[in-house]
Amino acid sequence: MNPALRSLTDLSLSAVFAALIIVLAFVSIPVGSAGVPIVLQNAAFILAGLVLGPRRGLITVAIFFALGIVLPVLAGGRSIPQALSGPTVGYIIGYIVSTALAGFLAYYLRGNRYLVFSIAAIVALFSQYLCGTIGLIVRADMSLGAAIAAQGSFVLIDALKILVAVAAAVAIHAALPQLLRPGTSHA
């Protein structure tokens, strides 16, 4: 594929996923006292990595963050600067890490797509929890135990969201197998 066309395709795919992530900001359920809501955006970042791979996934994150500097792209109508100053800072950083991890593992591990994508999604979700825990410790002045316990209300719903994301990613790759082929621009 022509390099210019490949770059345009990559940018287009990334922009579509960034738009999907922004639309999912409208789904937000407040939970607990830590000020961290249940959202669909966290699963969408993982889906972007699973579908687009690490490079295009990170382009998606870059588009999202660039828009989020000036627009309210996060759950609750918040912008990125607002989120970075509050208890959700770790989760915001976790979006970057999880997208890259999901993409890398999905594109470079070999084997059954359901299994590979499931492993990639679980590792990515764990990275969000880890970053979120650190953010709660730093910004919400929680103890390690309290910050870990705060994750408890998210585990079941996040597991369900990940199942849907994995099924969607497998279906997308079945329909568009060229996304996983070596030589496509995913590295």
Residue 182 forms part of a structural domain: no
Output the domain CATH number for residue 58: 1.10.1760.20
Domain of 53, in residue numbers: 3-177
Q: What is the pLDDT of residue 186?
A: 44
pLDDT of 184 above 50: no
Contact 55, 186 (CB under 8 A): yes
Percent of the chain residues topping a pLDDT of 90 = 76
> What total number of domains does the chain contain?
1
186 occurs within a structural domain: no
Residues 55-87 have pLDDT tens digits of: 999 999 999 999 999 999 998 889 999 999 999
pLDDT in tens, 144-155: 999 999 888 889
Instruction: Give 19-33 pLDDT, tens digit per residue.
Output: 999 999 888 887 765
Q: What is the pTM of this model?
A: 0.92
Give the residue ranges of DSSP H helices in 76-151: 80-84, 89-108, 113-139, 144-150
C-alpha angle 43/61/148, rounded to 5°?
Answer: 50
